[in-house]
Structure 1
Amino acid sequence: MAADFVVYGFSQSDVGDEDPQVYELDPDTTIRAIGKWSTAGDEAADYNFDQIARYRAKGITFMGSGTASIIFPKDFATPEIFDDMSTRDADGNPVPHDEFGFPEPARRGNIFNPKYREYLLSWARIQVDGGVDGLNFDEINAGFSGGLKYGFNGNEGFDDYAIADFTRYLLAKYPTYTAADWMSRFGIAADNLPRRDVPADDLAANFNYREYLRAGGWNLNPVNAANPLAPEWGRVIANRMYAEDTSFTATYIRRYWKGMVDELRGYAWRTKHRRLLISSNGLWPYVDFNSVGMYPWNPDEQTPDWRGADYVPVVDGHLNGAKSLQSQYRYLKEQSARIAGNVPVVVFIDWPTDMMTNYLNLPLRERQDYWRIFGAEAYANGIFPAFHLKDTVGSPTATDLGMMEFFTTYTRFFKDHRSIFKDNAIGTRAVRVGASGVAASLLVQRGTGRRTIHLVNHNYDQGIAPQAGFTVEADLGSCPRRVTMISPDRTRSTSPAFTCRHGTLKVAVDRLDYYNVILV
């Protein structure tokens, strides 16, 4: 069960390859052990399914995966099929994605096309047949940006399938609208009205949104605020499916995603009599855990340069350990709860991005400190870091970087104390720290009610500055019988001095290196 996972790794290999580092780290799972890409993974013979038995012998859950949106001409039998599978702009033309820099033309697949959804399911079934424990789908809704050609302004996703669904959406949302209503509310021309007496996919006789966009002059920028139907269509945010978004694109993508998930879980149960775990890159519903890629231009924080939350903070080539990611991690946890309910949230450094480049270029000690500070801060806020082992673009592996001994030693702490780190909610009561530069949080475990206070030290300048001899005060509402302090930076637990009056706990902390956990 994903709810029992505490240590995650990130190691992705091509479908026929295997990473021995995984067995050395011995995590509960890797987010995606293999990844289907282009034609590699179309046939069962492409895969090294024998490694699944080796994973299970170590007690590691094996997650298969594949890209859910990037496609190439060679992926399909004919150019016509490739065109049909591709997303379109508001003029009905396929949208190129040359910004990826691939040697062959790349496009995004169209999730509104039932044949494309079946294509995704076809390789997913091969992995289920091969014995995977779960599947991770990467970039499910990435085909709506417009790419470099349109300056990422959202001019993408306007194919015939989506246009027909948009008509269905409008007719369902406004069941009593008359011709006059459509014209006055949205400025739709009299000869292009949504009609209930004509099939929605008859774009010549029923409403054609592309014609509407051309008439309004919005065909090069369809989500322009001047377009009255733009809010109805919605703006797709890659790798995010926000719970409150009820626009057309969110409603139908959510529906199609659920259909795919239900089909795969049903298939795994019918054929293997096993429950299939599902995950995806980002924040998505209907998953067993959310795995959130950390990359630039993310939507998780409003910043002046639009790059979003800085998940791998670096200054002049050195780790900026003085920064805290507490607010960003809490945002991810809270959003995931709204979207997917009570499922684990795990973050990983996505690639190839400059966040990954910055991490790889850190000095060895500072790479380790990244996990001691920001990996710990993930645990401290009820989510999980995925310890980075390997990507698929030839970057140095954890072994190449001299990180494996650290990873195996450091993660032992979380394995030994796994009962503490599972299924925690962020507490609402205040925690006060008598030392500067320390991020504190209170977690409350669902089911057990166990309370833990987490302290992460951000007194850092190319090295940690330990804090000593300070007090932590927490409003708990009730007083504990005993208090214990543990840390991955210490070999044994301690019993710090504490007082408690009227539910306010005061604990004397003798020393904080990187991360302490106070067990109440």
Structure 2
Amino acid sequence: MRWIGLVSLTVLLIWNSEASGLKVEETPQGLKVEGKSYRARFVREVAEFSLEVLDAQGQFRPVSRWSPEFGLVMKGEIATNVGARAEWNFQRKGDILVVGWGFPFFVPETNSNWRPVWATAHFLCLDDGILMRFQLHNLKLPANAVCWVMPRWRLDERLFDAYTFWRPDDVRRSGHIAALGERLVYAGVTPWEQRGDIAPAFAASLPALIVRSEATGVGLGIVFVRYAEDWKGGFGFLQRFRPDVVYLYSGYLPAQRATQGVWAWVAPFDGRNASPERKVQWLLEQANALLKTFKPIVTSKLPSWAQPPSDFPTELRRPRPVERTEDAVVFSINEFIHTPYGLWLARKVGSDVLLRAWFKWGNAPDWRKFSPLVEEAHRLGMLFGGGTTCSALYHGENNLSEEEVLDMATRDPEGRLVDAWGQAGVRHGTLSNPRYLNYILRWCQAQIEAGADCLFMDEINAALHDNEGYDDYSLRDFREHLIRTYVQGQGWRLDDPRWQERFRIDLTDRTICPDGTIATFDYRAYLKRHGLVSKPLSSQNPLREEWQRFRAQRDREAWRWLVERIREFARQRGRQVFICANGIAPFVDFQVRGVWDLWRVKEGRVDLSASQIRDWARIVRDGWFVAGRKVPVVFFHDWGFGGFPWMEVPPSDRELWMRVRGAEIYAAGGFFAFPVTGLGNHHDALRDGTLNEIARQTVFYQRYRDLYRNGIPIAFDELPTEPAQVSTALWVRQEPPTLLIHIINCRVVDFRLQKGPVTVWVPIRDMPQDVSVFSPDGFQGKAILKREGERIRLTLPQLEAYCVVTLRFKKMPRWSPDFVPRLYPTQRWERALENSFVVQPGGIVEDDWKLVAFLQGKLHTHLRNPPTFLINAPQGGTLEVFVRGVAQGGARLVLMVDGQLTQAVELPDRDGKNDPFADEYARTFTFRLPVGKHRITLDNDGNDWAFIEWLAFRGEFAHP
């Protein structure tokens, strides 16, 4: 049974199951099932579920800290179902809901190859519990392979305090978990250390193991069905690994035994009842009846998505890693590559740069032992990436003494330690402490010496919250900032009365200024005196803006210091190391930015209903501006303490997102880092079934890498299309004269792309000499071009997800009268990077991202850098300027031609808001351009800024 008609099926499930007490609800994320004393959730398309059990007060309590794990152990490696894609199905059978999974374990065949082993799991959900069936569908398994045929549960150790099981002589064993001992102790039937309350087998008449909470009444029981026939020689046990880690291994067998299929109940029990024999026997009787009518509802055959892709085509691999990041086209997240498995996955994907293959978060490994993996990556034409946190600092990590941690950790406004991200035992370091900066540098140097080519620097501002950053080192630097700004910069005295007048710093208060001058100013004491300890960034704080200005400058200089020393360390060893940060940052070789705020979901599924290409383009241009050059801007799916959104949608949605949003990112001039592994290897594209799609996408981008180089994006979503739900980008290449039209399909119905013909109206008056179509989806047919008035109609017989159409000309085509390429200045409150630009044929300005949207007037002279454009207009032309708003002081636009004022527009303030986005003007102003070659300067000689959203050169232009 597939997904056709599931809405009506859900209604039937709810209606029929209510009568028996079982409640079932289908959601976009999966299924919610509620019985008499338990509640389960099954995740759509993924082999994961969760379970809650009712306590004595009628509250549901989660029994496990993470998703229960089925597992296959071979050659010392453990493969589990967590994160695994599943052939997922459910059916109603009378008063039973049957949920079925088919999913792969990936196990080592050799040291350089992993293969899938297909498994199926069925969950028969009844009012009183869940009867589970597990089966492996592979007969070629080594004799020493073992399988967790029933889940391993990481129990909530705070919840469970007791256990019960029966020995072969029917003697009941009950006790408290704490009484077993502290570490590596057991209750039940275990093959491991024989410490604790151990038995050689369970009683044939009462084959069960129950974990209980005498404090809350919660109980969870595993009842083995057909124990004598199917479970002989098997194991089930409670393990207290250490006081804060308790596992329940609910079924453990030689893997060959699992090929016949085994059954067991997972059911709620009364945690305060140590004599539950009657319920165990009743469950066994129910199981005997249910087994007679059972039929599988998921396939036992391995689907195509579970087959690992072939190695990436050799002919598409680079012979050696790129020497400039600007030449890289494919990036991937490969967190981590510590074993041959990580490199085996990398072989499947055509990546130029392996990001976060190593990463230091808490304790660091000895990366030198992983150096052979770097050498192999180089042979595959890949740069190997390392990285480190610039924020997290754990007590005791890497043998740090307590004194060292306390010295490097920042403080709150009262001088107290802060639990970073609310996590006990972890701090944020202070970037004002040279010891901490050198500690960060130490791990960068170690990775460089082990062979890393790139470094991903995470949270370069130390990720401080509003209540952090008030350590003694930062207070010292803030004091020096005030002296540098006002004493050295503006001539104030150390005991100047203006400290009191402007900032309410009472120099006579010896708790704030012990020597009566700003030279001993204590900012924490100041915050306490003014009642600002709990709200240091309140508008009531006169020093708020100075503190924020100081922090921004300090963070930038600390970052500069790190980057310079990393590069110098590499140079001294004859190495070149490429640096990026997590987020748009200066001084980098390429930008890497999380998708976070641009992730769109609706009811738990990926939402592709609106194009996001302009969002990606805006960030790409911002990344170029901050770096000061046209570096690669790479988007990736990040994770953090708040979760991993990429893993919260079904795998088929992840594939869809890569095909559509990934294409938009490339069409916007950026790059997407394909998620091969992440979240410390908890995410794995092989397990979730997306690796084949990643491999297919990267083959396309490597085969046609030249499509994404040496082009100028000039228009996003400005071309009319039919149907409307299509993203477009128009690129120009001057030599040879070429237009590149990126077309991305956003039409999704029931979470599936709707294929069909697409028409795009291209705003040109001239027919091309040559037309080509490129697509990762295997485009079939020909592009049809037809002249319609003063534009060209381009029709594709079918668009699946994405294609690029190239139109080649003898010379640059003429634009349609209703179209002009727009220049979009970067929306930053900074000085423009350049003030001289060349207008090329077609009215194109290649480096328009170096412009800034705030065209400054007389007030902020340090930010003034008005642009001058060199033009050659054989017939004259116009400059169109779209003004969104102006400052309260007003502005005046002026056009200078060869240094002479020719036109001016007064822009007085209209709304008093000082808001550049307030639609105060939202109007296009047009300036005439003279015939011939000229220098055209757009300036503002008014009082304050005007916000220029875009500008455009209309007319025919030749090379100057």
Which deviations, in whole Å up to 9, do the C-alpha atoms of 1:409-445 show, x marking residues without a partner? 2211111110111365531584332321112122346
Distance of 1:18 and 1:187 partners within structure 2: 62
Which deviations, in whole Å up to 9, do the C-alpha atoms of 1:427-466 show, x marking residues without a partner? 1584332321112122346998854221211111211112
Secondary structure, aligned partner of 2:468: coil
- Alignment of 1:3 with 2:326, yes or no, is yes
Q: Which moved more, 1:395-404 or 1:170-179?
A: 170-179
Which deviations, in whole Å up to 9, do the C-alpha atoms of 1:306-352 show, x marking residues without a partner? xxx241x3323332222332233123212212211321111111124
Distance of 1:471 and 1:14 partners within structure 2: 44
- Alignment of 1:158 with 2:470, yes or no, is yes
Give the corresponding residue for 1:460.
748
Which deviations, in whole Å up to 9, do the C-alpha atoms of 1:87-119 show, x marking residues without a partner? 11112222112634xxx6111111221110001
Give the corresponding residue for 1:372.
659
Which deviations, in whole Å up to 9, do the C-alpha atoms of 1:275-303 show, x marking residues without a partner? 210011111111111111233xxxxxxxx
Written as runs of structure 1 = structure 2, the 5 A alignment for 1:394-409 is 394-409=681-696
- Alignment of 1:223 with 2:527, yes or no, is no
- Alignment of 1:350 with 2:643, yes or no, is no
AA in 1 matched with 2:415: G
AA in 2 matched with 1:9: S
Is the 2:579–2:588 Cα contact (8 Å) retained in structure 1? yes
Give the corresponding residue for 1:31.
355
Give the corresponding residue for 1:256.
558
- Alignment of 1:129 with 2:452, yes or no, is no
Is the radius of gyration larger for structure 1 or structure 2? 2
Is the 1:483–1:498 Cα contact (8 Å) retained in structure 2? no
AA in 1 matched with 2:603: D
Distance of 2:345 and 2:550 partners within structure 1: 44
Q: 2:417 aligns with which of 67, 72, 94?
A: 94
Give the corresponding residue for 2:884.
none
Distance of 2:745 and 2:421 partners within structure 1: 43
Distance of 2:739 and 2:460 partners within structure 1: 37
Distance of 2:653 and 2:444 partners within structure 1: 39
Give the corresponding residue for 2:799.
512
Secondary structure, aligned partner of 2:570: helix
Written as runs of structure 1 = structure 2, the 5 A alignment for 1:66-215 is 66-75=388-397, 76-97=399-420, 99-100=422-423, 105-145=425-465, 154-174=466-486, 175-176=489-490, 177-178=492-493, 179-191=496-508, 206-215=520-529
Distance of 1:180 and 1:288 partners within structure 2: 47
AA in 2 matched with 1:188: I
Distance of 2:442 and 2:736 partners within structure 1: 42
- Unaligned regions of 5+ residues in structure 2, if any? 1-323, 808-960
Secondary structure, aligned partner of 1:321: coil
Secondary structure, aligned partner of 1:136: strand
TM-score, normalised with respect to structure 2:
0.46
AA in 1 matched with 2:387: S
Which deviations, in whole Å up to 9, do the C-alpha atoms of 1:53-94 show, x marking residues without a partner? 110010011011111211111125321211111011112222
AA in 2 matched with 1:181: R
Is the 1:125–1:264 Cα contact (8 Å) retained in structure 2? yes
Give the corresponding residue for 2:591.
290
Secondary structure, aligned partner of 2:396: helix
- Say which structure is richer in helix: 1
Secondary structure, aligned partner of 1:415: helix
Distance of 1:496 and 1:18 partners within structure 2: 47
Give the corresponding residue for 2:345.
21
AA in 2 matched with 1:170: L
Deviation at 1:391, TM superposition (A): 1.7
Written as runs of structure 1 = structure 2, the 5 A alignment for 1:322-333 is 322-333=609-620
Is the 2:413–2:533 Cα contact (8 Å) retained in structure 1? yes
Written as runs of structure 1 = structure 2, the 5 A alignment for 1:455-494 is 455-461=743-749, 462-474=751-763, 480-491=768-779, 494=782
Give the corresponding residue for 2:268.
none
Secondary structure, aligned partner of 2:542: coil
Deviation at 1:478, TM superposition (A): 7.8
Deviation at 1:192, TM superposition (A): 6.8
Is the 1:192–1:207 Cα contact (8 Å) retained in structure 2? no
- Alignment of 1:413 with 2:700, yes or no, is yes
Is the 2:668–2:713 Cα contact (8 Å) retained in structure 1? yes
Q: Which moved more, 1:465-474 or 1:451-460?
A: 465-474
Q: Which moved more, 1:372-381 or 1:214-223?
A: 214-223
Compared CA separation, residues 228 and 352, structure 1 to 2 (3 A): closer
Secondary structure, aligned partner of 2:583: coil
Secondary structure, aligned partner of 2:387: strand
Distance of 2:340 and 2:476 partners within structure 1: 42
Query: What percent identity do the matched residue pairs reach?
Result: 27
- Alignment of 1:442 with 2:764, yes or no, is no
Is the 2:732–2:739 Cα contact (8 Å) retained in structure 1? yes
Is the 2:334–2:357 Cα contact (8 Å) retained in structure 1? yes
- Alignment of 1:49 with 2:371, yes or no, is yes
| Structure with larger RCO (C-alpha < 8 A, sep 6+) | 1
Deviation at 1:269, TM superposition (A): 0.9
AA in 2 matched with 1:325: Q
Secondary structure, aligned partner of 2:644: helix
Written as runs of structure 1 = structure 2, the 5 A alignment for 1:422-433 is 422=709, 424-428=711-715, 430-433=718-721
AA in 2 matched with 1:415: Q
TM-score, normalised with respect to structure 1:
0.83
Is the 1:486–1:493 Cα contact (8 Å) retained in structure 2? no
Which deviations, in whole Å up to 9, do the C-alpha atoms of 1:200-225 show, x marking residues without a partner? xx999522222222222112221111
Which deviations, in whole Å up to 9, do the C-alpha atoms of 1:131-183 show, x marking residues without a partner? 111111111213421xxxxxxxx011111221122222223333223412222
CA RMSD after TM alignment: 2.9
Is the 2:350–2:699 Cα contact (8 Å) retained in structure 1? no
AA in 1 matched with 2:538: N
Secondary structure, aligned partner of 2:594: strand
Is the 2:721–2:758 Cα contact (8 Å) retained in structure 1? no
Compared CA separation, residues 172 and 500, structure 1 to 2 (3 A): farther
AA in 1 matched with 2:352: D
Distance of 2:732 and 2:543 partners within structure 1: 44
Secondary structure, aligned partner of 1:210: helix
The alignment of Structure 1 onto Structure 2 pairs a total of residues equal to 471
Is the 1:381–1:426 Cα contact (8 Å) retained in structure 2? yes
Distance of 1:217 and 1:423 partners within structure 2: 57
Q: 1:266 aligns with which of 568, 578, 599?
A: 568
Is the 2:609–2:746 Cα contact (8 Å) retained in structure 1? yes
Compared CA separation, residues 67 and 15, structure 1 to 2 (3 A): farther
Distance of 1:449 and 1:284 partners within structure 2: 34
Secondary structure, aligned partner of 2:333: strand
Q: Which moved more, 1:320-329 or 1:68-77?
A: 320-329
